[in-house]
Amino acid sequence: MEDIIKAEHLTKYYGDFLAVKDISFSVKKGEIFGFLGPNGAGKTTTIRMLTGILKPSEGKIRIFGLDAEKNMVSLKERMGIVPEMANPYIDLTAMQNMMLIGHLYGMKKKEMKERSIELLRLFGLYEKRDKKVHSFSKGMKQRLSLAMAMLPDPELLFLDEPTSGLDVMSARLIKRIIKDENKNGKTVFMSTHNMNDANELCNRIAIINHGKIVAIDTPERIKRIGREHTVIEFSVEPFRFDKNIVPDVEKVKVMGDKIRIYTKDVDTVIKNIVNYARKEGLKIISLNTQKPSLEDVFVYLVGGKNE
Amino acid sequence: MSKFSQFSRSLAIVKKDMLIFYLKGPVIIMGLLFPFFLFGAFLIGRNLSHEYLFVALISMTAFFTSTAVGPTIIPWETRGKTFERLMSSPISITTVLLGDMQASFYFGLFITSAISLIVIFLHISLNLLIFIPAVILALLTFSAMTILMSSYPPTDVPADVMMLSSLVKFTLLFISGIFVPLEKLPLYARAVSAISPLTYLVDALRYSTNLSGYFPLWIDLLALLLFALIFFFSGVAVHKKVLERRFT
């Protein structure tokens, strides 16, 4: 299938600081491609290079088969972009924001008006179309941002953390619309640190950490990276736990009144937990084993520490 | 993509700037009142001809209105996180700056035109064939100057830029022959005046009111045009150079 984005050996320095180190990947037509990483991993820097906001220190980007550096302004006509933290104009109304973007994309007035109305309805903002954006909630602003990016009906959408910090309903709506856009043939490049979103939406994902891609594949295949590990989750009453009873495990994580242990040696760990509970007079409330989720693998790949 | 298409998109920037930054009650009132305050301070205690007063008033109005908001637009946009959205659209930084410059120009033109009506009450004969091109060229020059003023440092703190631009503007005001005619200045001061674009507007406006000028009129108009081109293109070059620093 045709490559819509092809990034080769991308590197970005900010002064002496190496933000992105020699990454290469491609995004195929019709894919939802997720770019996952912890804060400061290089996700936004990569998106900014792909969308022409930053110039790569080294490496090449081709979008729709064209050299991005030489053709960025005309390429952007085929792209809709929701930058991270970039706001709509709060002193303009929702409709004025839409019309501004329509003009910047060179759309005809009638077309931009009709499409704006259609999108504002889709995002549940039509009733507020003449209200200034400073009265909008974060979720409404983000919905408007996505509506603005979709206005010119672009073939390729770049979404930087599209659901970050949103209420459940706004996040659901945005995810549904991303899926629908993809069904209609749009290619989506999205960054996120929300594993559920990535698992639910993306055909393929790349995990980036410290500016380097550490894994790139489908979510299911990436989950297999951690297949030799098992997650043991248990809870005891009264809640108490001594890490020293499981000395050779990969990771121990306290989650509310539960403990999650990542290990290759299920037998020893479970016996130790049971012995510990018996010795301390603790009641085991729950104890189960499961294969790692995408989040587990992500934590494993980006080197999370015991908590 | 054609240059015309980019120019037509710059008009969307003009409209946005007008709605957000210029067409606000306090900005318009300050645009109208500020030159009058300065003019009043200049007028009190002096016995000056109507022509002389008109030249001073129009020069200050054109200068202060067309440079009032322009230098702070990009820092405001950077701070409000709207600049990245703008740069994510299919327009170049030159188009954005062309739009910002036009907004400064149209605002200056509107206020200067309104203030120019005072000519009716001063009973002076005004040569519009000199007045109109001189004012238009000067407004273009001052608007282009705001592009250069906003270019460096690449800050997201509008107050930093305002402080620097006020320093430049008031310095230019005092060396441009508004308060003391050029011919009465010592030679070194005249040399300093020559580097101020405002000097050439004041000189051209003197011709338009039948006062005598210091430089030939064609020099005044040519100098304004050259300043406009230099300010705009050097401003664009600096903006391009520091653009990434606004996002990092």
The predicted model gives A70-81 an average pLDDT of 94
Which range among A70-74, A190-194, B13-17 shows the weakest confidence by mean pLDDT? A190-194
Please, which residues 136-165 of chain A have a Cβ atom closer than 8 Å to chain B?
145, 148
Angle, in degrees to the nearest 10, between helices A109-122 and A94-104: 130
Q: Helix (H, G, I), strand (E, B), or coil: what is residue B244?
A: helix
A73 touches chain B (CB under 8 A): yes
Residue A86 binned pLDDT confidence (cut-offs 50, 70, 90)? low
Which chain A residue's Cα is nearest to B84? A86
Q: Which of A86, A92, A105 shows the shortest C-beta gap to B90?
A: A105
To test the contact with chain B by mutation, choose from A50, A104, A141, A151 the residue with the greatest count of B C-beta atoms within 10 A, namely A104
Listed in order, strand segments (DSSP E) in chain A are 3-14, 17-28, 32-36, 58-63, 66-67, 79-82, 156-160, 187-192, 204-209, 212-217, 230-237, 251-255, 258-263, 283-290
Q: Which pLDDT does position A195 carry in this prediction?
A: 82
Per-residue pLDDT of chain B (248 residues; tens, 9 = 90+): 677 789 999 999 999 999 999 887 777 777 777 777 877 887 777 778 889 889 999 999 999 999 988 898 999 999 988 999 999 999 999 999 999 999 999 999 999 999 899 888 888 899 999 999 999 999 999 999 999 999 988 988 888 888 898 899 989 988 998 888 888 888 898 999 999 999 999 999 999 998 889 999 999 999 999 999 999 999 999 999 999 988 88
Which chain B residue's Cα is nearest to A104? B9
CA distance to partner chain B, nearest, from residue A81 (Å): 6
- Rounded-to-integer distance, Cα B36 and Cα A213, Å: 62
B248 contacts A54? CB cut-off 8 A: yes
Q: Which pLDDT does position A305 carry in this prediction?
A: 44
Q: What angle do CA B241, B242, B246 make, to 5 degrees?
A: 150
The predicted model gives A279-299 an average pLDDT of 85
User: What share of chain A has pLDDT > 70, as a percent?
Assistant: 98
CA distance to partner chain A, nearest, from residue B38 (Å): 31
ipTM of the complex: 0.90
A15 touches chain B (CB under 8 A): no
Q: Which pLDDT does position A300 carry in this prediction?
A: 74
| pLDDT top residue among B43 and A148 | A148
Question: Does A291 score more than 80 pLDDT?
Answer: no
pTM above 0.95, yes or no: no
Q: Which pLDDT does position A304 carry in this prediction?
A: 57
| pLDDT top residue among B40 and A273 | A273
To test the contact with chain A by mutation, choose from B24, B88, B248 the residue with the greatest count of A C-beta atoms within 10 A, namely B88
In chain B, domain spans: 3-246
- Rounded-to-integer distance, Cα A186 and Cα B246, Å: 31
B1 contacts A73? CB cut-off 8 A: yes
Contact A215, A225 (CB under 8 A): yes
- Rounded-to-integer distance, Cα B218 and Cα B204, Å: 9
pLDDT in tens, A225-259: 777 778 899 999 998 888 888 877 777 888 888 99
| Terminal Cα-to-Cα distance of chain A (whole angstroms) | 43
pLDDT in tens, A163-186: 888 888 888 999 999 999 999 999
